[in-house]
Structure 1
Amino acid sequence: MVSSYVALDLETTGLDPKKDKIMEIGAVLVIDGVIKDTYETFVNPYRKLEERISMLTGIRDDQLYNAPGIEAVIGEFLDFAGNLPVLGHHVIFDFSFLKRAAVNAGRGFERQGIDTLKLARRFMPPEEKKNLKNACEFFGIRQESSHRALADSKSAHLLYQEMKNRYGSKEPEAFGLQPLIYKAKKEQPASNRQKEHLQDLLKYHKIVLSVQTDHLSRNEISRITDKIISQYGRI
């Protein structure tokens, strides 16, 4: 059973790591079951948040406006995490966003992980909801808050420790490390020609984007351009 790891959680603008962006990272460094350090930062997603995301997390656009971009903080996070395995509630979700950011920064991020969601599905009754909030309530863990990165990373750590204490001696194999597999290719920046073409389309069709075009990759700007042409037509 694993006792040293980095428990982590992200708040993101959506659920797709290919299209959506990280807006908050929270992590706790756990050594021999004890929290030794924490990491927390807002991340500028360079786009306006949807109202449902702000309602869910309590994070507002003005809190992110002066925050660093992911390219400025991913190195800090990777140094904080070191070579330890990562733990989270549906940890592959957080891992996929971080893996893409690491690859884009020219860094590697291969890890084994512990998924508290899988453990909750194994040890909680079928009729109980298995999201982090409900799992913590079921196991009597008090949460500082919900849908904020650092608080949720601490909750995932405490949830793992509680389940390990209850079931580890009977089913130690459930608490072992699993490989985290997510393939990501480095994204290429958009060309000036792509940006100019998109700006011309926006001006011609009188469209206001919620994203900052200077921070779009080649694939992202291509998708947006194709979508505008399919909906509104060419110039």
Structure 2
Amino acid sequence: MFSIIDIETTGQSYKNGKITEIAIYQHNGQEITDSYSTLINPEMDIPYFITELTGIDNHMVKSAPKFYQIAKKIVEMTMGRTFVAHNVSFDYKFIQEEYRRLGYDYHRKTMCTVKLSRKLLPGYQSYSLGKLCAQLGIEINGRHRAAGDALATAKLFNMLVDRSDLLGNPKAVNNYKLF
């Protein structure tokens, strides 16, 4: 039903940047059912400020698979599922661009936990993943790393599902205008 995803990248621009790490947690609406995580060789240098933020450096990704080598796995893990991420447009656009470079159109329904959090948990000062999780008591093991951030997003997603009628009422998802 859902693929909860986080990526790390070489920068903010999906047109010029590349993915350096991805984590996917498959979720059935109640719990995580499968997961996948890997570093990715971006075939370009990782800027110093990104290494400082994520801890991912050129040496770490040197022998990692290139995107085309894991592209099939990502398609399989997201096929027929809603693509869920915290600030979904960032992750989704990067992944779409990686597929576009391979000559493939990648399209999935998307759901943004930032938008959903603002609707279901109003009044928080910040909806950034780190600050929101801290305020909600969700521990993030590995901040600014794909697996840690994706798992925290999955925990946040569980909390949001518990506070909503998202799964009990299929029309509710459309009411949140998250796609």
Which TM-score band applies after superposition, normalised by the shorter structure? 0.7 to 0.9
Q: CA–CA distance in 2 between the matches of 1:176 and 1:84? A: 18
Cα shift at 1:106: 3.4
Question: What fraction of aligned residue pairs are identical, expressed as a percent?
Answer: 25
Are the counterparts in 2 of residues 26 and 39 from structure 1 also a CA contact under 8 Å?
yes
Indicate how the Cα distance of structure 1 residues 136 and 49 shifts in structure 2: closer, same or farther if over 3 A, else same: same
Are the counterparts in 2 of residues 13 and 21 from structure 1 also a CA contact under 8 Å?
yes
Which residue of the partner structure matches residue 19 of structure 2?
A: 22
Q: Is 1:134–2:131 an aligned residue pair?
A: yes
User: Which secondary structure state, in structure 1, belongs to the residue aligned with residue 84 of structure 2?
Assistant: strand
Are the counterparts in 2 of residues 11 and 25 from structure 1 also a CA contact under 8 Å?
yes
Cα deviation 1:40-96 (Å, max 9, x = unaligned): 111111222211101110112110111121122122211122221110000111111
Q: CA–CA distance in 1 between the matches of 2:100 and 2:56? A: 27
User: Which secondary structure state, in structure 2, belongs to the residue aligned with residue 100 of structure 1?
Assistant: helix
Cα shift at 1:177: 6.6
Aligned counterpart for 2:101 among listed residues 94, 101, 104: 104
Task: Kindly indicate whether structure 1 or structure 2 has the higher relative contact order, using CA contacts under 8 Å at least 6 residues apart.
Answer: 2
Are the counterparts in 2 of residues 10 and 94 from structure 1 also a CA contact under 8 Å?
yes
User: Which secondary structure state, in structure 2, belongs to the residue aligned with residue 178 of structure 1?
Assistant: coil
* Alignment map for 1:164-203 (pairs within 5 Å): 164-166=161-163, 168-169=164-165, 173=172, 178-179=178-179
Cα shift at 1:176: 5.2
Q: Is 1:10–2:39 an aligned residue pair?
A: no
What letter matches 1:16 in structure 2?
S
Q: CA–CA distance in 2 between the matches of 1:169 and 1:67? A: 41
Q: CA–CA distance in 2 between the matches of 1:143 and 1:47? A: 28
Which segments of 5 or more consecutive residues in structure 2 lack a partner in the other structure? none
Which segments of 5 or more consecutive residues in structure 1 lack a partner in the other structure? 180-235
State the TM-score, normalizing by the size of structure 1: 0.68
Q: CA–CA distance in 2 between the matches of 1:176 and 1:28? A: 22
Q: CA–CA distance in 1 between the matches of 2:22 and 2:165? A: 33
What letter matches 1:149 in structure 2?
A
Q: Is 1:66–2:63 an aligned residue pair?
A: yes
User: Which secondary structure state, in structure 2, belongs to the residue aligned with residue 158 of structure 1?
Assistant: helix
